[in-house]
Amino acid sequence: MANSITSTGHVDHLEKLMPHESIINDEGEHVVLPQHRHHFETAEQQREAGSFGMWLFLLTEIMFFGGLFFAYLLYRNWYYPAFAVASNQLNVPEGAANTAILITSGFFMALGVWAAEVRKKKLLVLMLVFTTIFGVAFLGVKADEYHEKYEKHHIPGASFSTSMFTNPPVNPKTGKPDELPLAPDMAQHTEIFFFLYFAMTGMHAFHMIIGIVLLFWLTWRAHRGEFSSGYVAPIENFGLYWHFVDIVWLFLFPLLYLINRHPIH
């Protein structure tokens, strides 16, 4: 008996012929998800393919950031003194706070995925909103840090000044400068550190902005109840993307902010 699945009106055929393929909801009767794309055999196969595809995309992101991380690794070894002093210009409390904010945002995203799986729509929407709030908070702190670099003339390019490094200002409390003065040629290499700092955190912030835009769209769709009846793939895949962006920051924070924080004398 050839189970011919013509392209028209396939939903009822599927129902009759492959009952075990559809998702069994609470009352145990079989319902086929409307989002079931025709070219997949089962919804399960579609979901597996979706997360596998998302992971492959994250692979490209790993290699994309990989190039930057290698450049950082190379120049940190070549110009360690410049990197150490320049890294001390970054504000550790703000960085640590940012890391905590992003971890919290990831936590709420994970709870969001859970809420979608157990089909609690209101909880899902709430979690997505929290994730967005913390995401935006992260960007706010980032913007403040960038502004501080702007004031100190640490943005690479024409306006970059190394005076801060060649003769470091005296710390009013201790009466002595916090840093050893850098030789002028080494001070010039601090511009490479700040270029890498802006390239890596800028690329990370750009990915955050994309994530937040997607979050607004997903929150709106979640609010319309699309993801609380078994179809969770978009939430799950966005969760993967969001956690990936969180992992990139988990590496960026120690590598950029904490190169050499122990006091020098």
From 25-33, 129-137, 141-149, 190-198, span contacting other proteins (CB under 8 A) = 190-198
The residues near 82 (Cβ < 8 Å, ≥ 6 apart) are 165, 182, 186, 187, 188, 189, 190, 192, 193
Q: Of residues 110-169, which lie at the interface with other proteins (CB under 8 A)?
A: 110-111, 113-114, 117-118, 156-158, 160
Give the helix/strand (H/E) hosting 73.
helix 43-78
According to the binding rule CB under 8 A, does residue 253 interact with other proteins? Answer: yes
**Residue 115 φ/ψ, nearest 5 degrees:** -60, -40
243 interacts with other proteins by CB under 8 A: yes
Max Cα–Cα distance, the chain, nearest Å: 91
| CB of 223 vs other proteins, minimal distance in Å | 21
**Position 240 contacts other proteins (CB under 8 A):** yes
Q: Does 213 bind other proteins (CB under 8 A)?
A: no
Burial of residue 214 (CB within 10 Å: 0-12, 13-18, 19+) is middle
Residue in 129, 137, 199, 214 binding other proteins, rule: CB under 8 A: 199
By the rule CB under 8 A, 100 interacts with other proteins? yes
| Start-to-end CA span in the chain (Å) | 85
Considering the rule CB under 8 A, would residue 209 count as an interface residue with other proteins? Answer: no
Closest approach of Cβ 27 to other proteins, in Å? 19
Candidate residues 192, 208, 218, 222; the one interacting with other proteins per rule CB under 8 A: 192
- Secondary structure of 219-238 as H, E, C letters: HHHHHCCCCCCCCCHHHHHH
- Dihedral over Cα of 31, 36, 41, 43: its sign: negative
Work out whether 3 is an interface residue with other proteins (CB under 8 A).
yes
Interaction between residue 103 and other proteins (CB under 8 A):
yes
Residue 34 or 63: the one with the smaller Cβ distance to other proteins is 63
Q: Residue 135 Cβ, how far from other proteins at the closest point, in Å? A: 15
Q: Which residues of 17-37 are buried (b: 16+ CB within 10 A; e: fewer)?
A: eeeebbbeeeeeeeebbeebe
Contact track, other proteins, 46-85, x by CB under 8 A: -xxx-xxx-xxxxxxxxxxxxxxxxx-xxx-xxx-x----
Scanning residues 168 to 187, which ones bind other proteins (CB under 8 A)? Answer: 182-186
